[in-house]
């Protein structure tokens, strides 16, 4: 993982790469990881951008958004490299409202997943984005939001014609049993509102050397046959999340409950639930109106609310 200073130096080198086509490899020597691990190409002692990269572009993403998004959108940025779009926006949330901010990154040097895991974002391959929303609800009332977001992404993938799309509680998205997208939601509480940072990592074209570093079965959109450009996917994703949050603000998660159960990978199935060292087995009954997971464990029915839980199908 690179420090904030190293990440900024890297962003400068990526700018040079875009302008000049290549940069001597030794200039990347300050980084704790190799340029290859960041998704860059090294040939003849120089770092180059891979050919035919489908780079993100702020104008093209805006063009893919419906006019209705204009009322909310205040800041759309594509960073060449950041530590983590969530971390960077959380730092900014200390001094300003992040409502209407949408920050993408082509590369993350310290991308974060749920439960303290790392999230890999090699250069110009996937989608890494954080969207900021101000919600006038106390943090405790936001339980269903993370499920609403997962459901919105799953439906978006279905609309791309993909079969076998499922969501795993609370908001991991799978295709054919392999993870394609993860969501990390973080809250900044204020006196009058709660700033909600919705971070989404969607695998579009995950290089082999990055797959090898991930300890679970993963997939990406390209190997599932999706050819839509990254900019069009990025715009559609923003649109889907803005609509989902709008629906959640109006009516909460309750009306989405049935649709969520229908798409839930573990609905009606046996599961193993790990809450730290406490591991239980049970059968999933469904989700509640506030997004908790109801599981029958022997004679008892328990409701799981926290996101720091790991859920695994057991049958």
Q: Rounded to whole angstroms, how far apart are CA atoms 230 and 53?
A: 10
Mark the segment that binds ligand BTN (CB under 6 A) among 19-27, 137-145, 178-186, 260-268: 178-186
Question: Residue 19 Cβ, how far from ligand BTN at the closest point, in Å?
Answer: 26
Burial class (CB in 10 A: 0-12, 13-18, 19+), 285: middle
| Residue selected from 64, 93, 102, 128 as contacting ligand BTN according to rule CB under 6 A | 128
Quick one: 39 or 283, whose CB is closer to ligand BTN? 39
| Interacting positions 155-174 with ligand BTN (CB under 6 A) | 172
| Residue selected from 64, 81, 183, 245 as contacting ligand BTN according to rule CB under 6 A | 183
Q: Does 230 bind ligand BTN (CB under 6 A)?
A: no
Mark the segment that binds ligand BTN (CB under 6 A) among 180-188, 220-228, 270-278, 286-294: 180-188
Quick one: 179 or 294, whose CB is closer to ligand BTN? 179
- Please name the residue that has the structure tokens 């046959």: 225
Q: At 247, which helix (H) or strand (E)?
A: helix 230-251
Q: How far is CA 235 from the centre of its chain?
A: 14
Residues 6+ apart with CB under 8 A from 230: 54, 55, 56, 124, 127, 204
Question: Residue 192 Cβ, how far from ligand BTN at the closest point, in Å?
Answer: 26
Mark the segment that binds ligand BTN (CB under 6 A) among 65-73, 177-185, 232-240, 254-262: 177-185
| Residue selected from 117, 136, 249, 296 as contacting ligand BTN according to rule CB under 6 A | 117
Residue 128 backbone dihedrals phi, psi, to 5 degrees = -125, 120
Quick one: 23 or 200, whose CB is closer to ligand BTN? 200
DSSP 8-class letter at 273: E
Q: Is the preceding omega at residue 193 within 30 degrees of 0, hence cis? A: no
Q: Tell me, residue by residue from 69 to 108, as one string, x for binding to ligand BTN by CB under 6 A and - for no binding.
A: ---------------xxx---------------------x
Are the CB atoms for 11 and 80 separated by under 8 Å? Answer: yes
Quick one: 25 or 171, whose CB is closer to ligand BTN? 171
Quick one: 111 or 132, whose CB is closer to ligand BTN? 111
Are the CB atoms for 268 and 283 separated by under 8 Å? Answer: yes
Are the CB atoms for 200 and 116 separated by under 8 Å? Answer: no
Quick one: 143 or 201, whose CB is closer to ligand BTN? 201
Tokens at residue 168, please? 């795993």
| Residue selected from 36, 73, 113, 243 as contacting ligand BTN according to rule CB under 6 A | 113
Residue 146 backbone dihedrals phi, psi, to 5 degrees = -65, -30
Distances (CA, A) of 173 to 24, 153, 190, 278: 39, 7, 30, 25
Note the residues at the interface with ligand BTN (CB under 6 A): 84-86, 108, 111-114, 117, 119, 128-130, 172, 182-184, 199-201
């Amino acid at each position: 993982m690179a420090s904030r200073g190293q990440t900024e130096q890297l962003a400068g080198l990526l700018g040079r790469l875009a302008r000049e086509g290549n940069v001597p490899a030794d200039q990347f020597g300050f980084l704790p990881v190799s340029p290859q691990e960041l998704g860059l190409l090294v040939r003849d002692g120089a770092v180059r951008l891979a050919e035919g990269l489908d780079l993100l572009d702020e104008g093209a993403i805006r063009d893919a958004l419906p006019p209705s998004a204009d009322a909310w959108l205040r800041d759309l940025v594509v960073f060449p490299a950041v530590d983590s779009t969530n971390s960077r926006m959380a730092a900014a949330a200390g001094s300003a409202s992040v409502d209407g901010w949408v920050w993408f990154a082509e590369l993350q040097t310290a991308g974060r997943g749920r439960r303290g895991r790392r999230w890999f974002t090699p250069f110009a391959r996937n989608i890494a984005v954080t969207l900021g929303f101000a919600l006038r609800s106390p943090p405790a009332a936001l339980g269903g939001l993370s499920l609403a977001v997962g459901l919105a992404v799953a439906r978006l993938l279905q609309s791309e014609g993909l079969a076998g799309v499922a969501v795993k509680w609370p908001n991991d998205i799978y295709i054919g049993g392999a993870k394609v997208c993860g969501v990390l939601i973080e809250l900044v509480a204020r006196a009058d509102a709660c700033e909600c940072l919705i971070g989404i990592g969607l695998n579009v074209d995950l290089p082999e050397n990055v797959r090898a570093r991930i300890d679970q079965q993963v997939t990406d959109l390209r190997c599932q046959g999706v050819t839509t450009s990254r900019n069009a996917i990025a715009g559609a994703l923003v649109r889907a999340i803005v609509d989902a949050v709008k629906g959640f603000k109006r009516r909460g998660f309750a009306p989405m409950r049935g649709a969520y159960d229908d798409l839930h990978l573990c609905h009606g199935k046996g599961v193993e639930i790990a809450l730290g060292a406490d591991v239980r087995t049970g059968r999933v009954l469904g989700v509640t109106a506030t997004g908790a997971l109801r599981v029958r464990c022997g004679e008892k029915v328990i409701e799981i609310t926290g996101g720091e839980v790991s859920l695994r199908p057991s049958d």
